[in-house]
């Protein structure tokens, strides 16, 4: 499958590299307003195809996105000193207002995969601007947060994270909700598995895992300025699921009609991903604390888009 990536910075380039390593795309086209950067990234990644799966990797313009099955939106502007969050959002909305029509003019059949932050709000903006049918605008959402949750649970239980099924719901951000009651290993609730492994999940250990998941990006940003490997891998996984029509469950962000009483909000829930994009959305069974937290997350995201001029 041909994949376009708009924004050839660290996230976009790392996603392209990860797609090549996974064999998720047969062709990758990098588009950036800095054409020299796009060319350099494409050439560097192309050289690596000798050590991975065969793929064509090149830089181009919007017209070169023709026939792309997926286009990743990894472009955006940085916050200015003293700038309000709403003002930043409006500037990023303006960026998407230029990018998305150009993308769809070249590749009207493409699924849009949003990677720009603030992720959930930008996913809603992309859905509004594009006017695409439900399921064809997907935010990377909490796919990375869920991976962190699984990794930390696996480390606590001393089992492979591949054997852990756990999801983070809601915002890709501070109000995200770790779905503890839905976490399982080998069909067992994680608490039962923890007892069998003689590694009980105490309130202290759960709080430690929660904090580590929620603050993971802060620690990485403090050390190197930004995150890109984890999300690059997550974007490649999403592209692979679409290309292979896998119908795999992944926690991604999309406009949702109703979540815990909040209507028309964009956030992450477990969703079935296939060739058409989001095939269906699952409604998680939550305990009262999780329901309250998810409603609060939905309220925060709903408020974030109020007053946003598009």
Question: 47, 165, 172, 247: which is the annotated catalytic residue?
Answer: 172
Its sign, for the CA torsion 3, 7, 8, 12, is negative
List, in order, residues 6 or more apart from 63 with CB less than 8 Å away: 106
Tokens of 89: 């959002």
- Alpha-carbon separation of residue 197 from 109, 140, 152, 156, 159 (angstroms): 49, 33, 15, 10, 9
Residue entry with tokens 């923890």: 194
Query: Across the strands, what pairs with 256?
Result: 265
**Are the C-beta atoms of 156 and 199 separated by less than 8 Å?**
yes
Cα dihedral: 222, 22, 52, 243 (round 10): -130
The per-type count for the chain, helices as H runs and strands as E runs, is 10, 14
Phi-psi region of 87 (alpha: psi -120 to 50; beta: other; left: phi over 0): alpha
Query: In the 8-state DSSP scheme, what is residue 166?
Result: -
Q: How far is CA 257 from CA 25, 64, 124, 263, 265, in A?
A: 32, 35, 12, 5, 7
Sort strands 177-178 and 164-165 into parallel, antiparallel or unpaired.
Answer: unpaired
DSSP 244-300: TT--EEEEEEEEEEEETTEEEEEEEEEEEEETTEEEEE------HHHHHHHHHHHHH
Is-catalytic flag, 172?
Answer: yes
Catalytic positions: 172
């Amino acid at each position: 499958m041909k994949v376009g990536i708009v924004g050839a910075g660290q996230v976009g380039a790392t996603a392209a590299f990860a797609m090549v390593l996974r064999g998720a795309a047969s062709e990758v086209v990098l588009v950036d307003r800095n054409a020299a950067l796009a060319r350099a990234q494409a050439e560097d990644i192309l050289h690596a195809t000798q050590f991975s799966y065969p793929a064509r990797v090149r830089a181009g313009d919007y017209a070169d996105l023709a026939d792309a099955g997926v286009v990743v939106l990894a472009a955006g502007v940085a916050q200015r000193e003293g700038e309000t969050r709403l003002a930043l959002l409006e500037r990023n909305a303006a960026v998407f207002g230029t990018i998305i029509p150009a993308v769809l003019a070249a590749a009207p059949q493409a699924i849009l995969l949003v990677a720009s932050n603030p992720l959930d709000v930008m996913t809603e903006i992309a859905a509004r601007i594009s006017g695409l049918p439900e399921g064809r605008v997907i935010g990377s959402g909490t796919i990375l947060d869920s991976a962190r949750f699984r990794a930390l649970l696996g480390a606590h239980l001393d089992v492979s994270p591949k054997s852990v099924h756990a999801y983070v719901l809601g915002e890709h951000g501070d109000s995200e909700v770790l779905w503890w009651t839905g976490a399982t290993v080998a069909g067992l609730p994680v608490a039962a598995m923890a007892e069998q492994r003689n590694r009980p999940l105490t309130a202290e250990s759960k709080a430690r895992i929660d904090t580590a998941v929620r603050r993971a990006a802060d620690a990485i940003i403090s050390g190197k300025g930004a995150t890109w490997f984890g999300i690059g891998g997550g974007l490649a996984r999403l592209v692979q699921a679409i290309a292979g029509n896998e119908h795999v469950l992944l926690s991604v962000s999309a406009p949702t009609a109703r979540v815990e009483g909040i209507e028309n909000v964009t956030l992450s829930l477990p969703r079935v991903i296939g060739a058409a994009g989001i095939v269906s959305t699952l409604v998680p069974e939550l305990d009262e604390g999780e329901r309250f937290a998810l409603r609060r997350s939905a309220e925060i995201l709903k408020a974030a888009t109020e007053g946003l001029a598009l």
